[in-house]
Amino acid sequence: MKFVDEVRIEVKAGDGGNGSIAFRREKYVDKGGPSGGDGGDGGSVIFEADPQLTTLLDYRYQQHHRGEAGEHGMGSDCNGKAGVDLTLRVPVGTLVRRHETGELLADLAEPGQRFIVAKGGRGGLGNMNFATSTRQTPRFAQDGTKGELLMITLELKLLADVGLLGYPNAGKSTLISRVSRARPKVADYPFTTLVPNLGVVQYKDRRSFVMADIPGLIEGAAEGVGLGLQFLRHVERCRVLVHLLDLGAVVEGRDPAHDYDVLNKELAKYSPELARRPQVVVANKLDLPYAREALPKLQAKLAKKGVKVLTLSGATGEGLNELLDAVAKVLYAKPAPVPAVAAPKAVKPAAKPASKQKAAPKPKKKKKAPAKRKTAAKKPTTKKKKAAARSRK
């Protein structure tokens, strides 16, 4: 299958349906009033990350994608059907950018992650929505809105835990074929690997990680020389970089220590963050007779920079377990716990001198509640006096 990691496509969401203009015309119903239904909403265009996909090849040949339009409203208060959303499946690790500006719209880095790139148009309202007490027969309706139209650039960045770096013909494809079931093309000439290859490495204790074989990098890769600029983005997501140094390059007049410096400079030019990614440096092709003679000189040069060099023979498998252990140590290392920071104690303000201190205010005396006035007894009325005189008699 051809590997495609960057395409440009056009997406168009569905238009909303128009509202209807209709009136009830039934037997024995005089002037039934407006009955135009609403139009349906248009379907949106959605990107979904699918872990089963590894390339954007399908979008190279089909570049126009349109969502379904909503149906128009109908009479008898019938609303139009909404358009079905269009779901476009892309590989995990796909970046969705606006083509004109390069603006990043979404990073689909997790399986099943979805993103609505173009929203469907809204359906228009029918004339039944515009009836009022003073306007009982509206003869107009609302049109649906248009769906969004965008030019999109899809850019794939492979999701791998470990990325293999090195000059062309450094033995990267041989290594990934030894530790996984990936079967890349292996040959004794530069630029054998033209596309990245992924392989799942089964480690100890039922643990595994994904390794990516990146096409060879050369000096000037960050400026577009060779194949480097096209595939440098595939190592951006890698947590560990395995830097392969070709001991067989000594015969060609190259210095593996110089190759190490050149590739690290290219990484720093492309992305300073990528240059700070942890690296496992490995001297490959140890099976060659003159390689063991050049190994001590290489280790001495890189030891001055504080870099430890492992040894490997991709052809015989010598040093393979030590390499996997070093990679797994970086991958599964637990970060050191962050010490808890105690909350700062509140500082009491210094006491003011006696001369500047204000005298404490004297407590105010509580005012006594005013005594209640005694009310004089009411004099008996005339009726009461007469009643009392009769009782005496």
pTM score of the predicted model: 0.61
Residue at which a domain ends, from 130, 156, 182: 156
pLDDT at 181: 72
Does 183 share its domain with 198?
A: yes
Does 194 share its domain with 310?
A: yes
In the block, tokens 């492992």 appear at: 310
Domains held by the chain: number: 2
Integer Cα distance of 317 and 320 in angstroms: 5
pLDDT at 336: 46
Residue 384, in any domain of the structure: no
Residue 43, in any domain of the structure: yes
Residue 370, in any domain of the structure: no
* 45-57 residue pLDDT tens: 999 999 888 788 8
Does 101 share its domain with 170?
A: no
Residue 93, in any domain of the structure: yes
Q: Using a CB cutoff of 8 Å and minimum separation of 24, what contacts does 368-376 make?
A: none
Does 97 share its domain with 190?
A: no
Integer Cα distance of 363 and 187 in angstroms: 100
Does 258 share its domain with 116?
A: no
Does 109 share its domain with 234?
A: no
Domain around 39: 6-156
Residue 368, in any domain of the structure: no
Domain CATH number, residue 236: 3.40.50.300
Residue 348, in any domain of the structure: no
Residue 268, in any domain of the structure: yes
Does 120 share its domain with 232?
A: no
* Packing angle, helices 320-331 and 172-179, rounded to 10: 80
Does 176 share its domain with 321?
A: yes
Tell me how far apart the 2 most distant CA atoms of the chain are, in Å. 154
pLDDT at 267: 80
* 117-132 residue pLDDT tens: 999 999 999 999 999 8
Distance between first and last Cα of the chain: 134
Residue at which a domain ends, from 309, 331, 353: 331
Integer Cα distance of 281 and 35 in angstroms: 76
Contacts of 385 (CB under 8 A, 6+ apart): none
pLDDT at 342: 45
Domain CATH number, residue 37: 2.70.210.12
pLDDT at 18: 94
CA distances from 69 to 12, 14, 64, 116, 121 (A): 10, 4, 15, 16, 8
Residue at which a domain ends, from 297, 316, 331: 331
Does 229 share its domain with 327?
A: yes
Does 105 share its domain with 195?
A: no
Can you name the residues that pair with 151 across neighbouring β-strands?
A: 10
Integer Cα distance of 222 and 383 in angstroms: 121
The 10 Å Cβ neighbour count of residue 346 is 5
Does 76 share its domain with 126?
A: yes
Residue 199, in any domain of the structure: yes
Does 243 share its domain with 265?
A: yes
Three-state SS string over the chain comes to CCCCCEEEEEEECCCCCCCCCCECCECCECCCCECCCCCCCCCCEEEEEECCCCCCCHHHHCCEEECCCCCCCECCCECCCCCCCEEEEEECCEEEEECCCCCEEEEECCCCCEEEEECCCCCCCCHHHHCCCCCCCCCCCCCCCCCCEEEEEEEECCCCCEEEECCCCCCHHHHHHHHCCCCCCCCCCCCCCCCCEEEEEECHHHCEEEEEECCCCCCCHHHCCCCHHHHHHHHCCCCEEEEEEEHHHHCCCCCHHHHHHHHHHHHHHHCHHHHCCCEEEEEECCCCCCHHHHHHHHHHHHHCCCCCEEECCCCCCCCHHHHHHHHHHHHCCCCCCCCCCCCCCCCCCCCCCCCCCCCCCCCCCCCCCCCCCCCCCCCCCHHHHHHHHHHHC
pLDDT at 379: 53
The 10 Å Cβ neighbour count of residue 302 is 19
Per-position pLDDT tens, the chain of length 393: 456 778 899 999 999 999 999 998 888 777 788 999 999 999 999 999 998 887 888 888 888 999 999 999 998 889 999 999 999 999 888 889 999 888 899 988 888 999 999 999 999 999 999 998 888 889 999 999 999 999 999 988 776 788 888 887 778 888 888 887 766 555 454 555 556 677 778 888 778 788 877 765 655 554 544 455 556 666 777 888 888 888 877 767 678 888 888 888 878 887 778 778 888 898 888 888 787 888 888 888 888 888 888 888 878 888 888 888 888 888 887 654 544 444 444 444 445 554 445 555 555 555 555 555 554 455 555 666 666 666 665
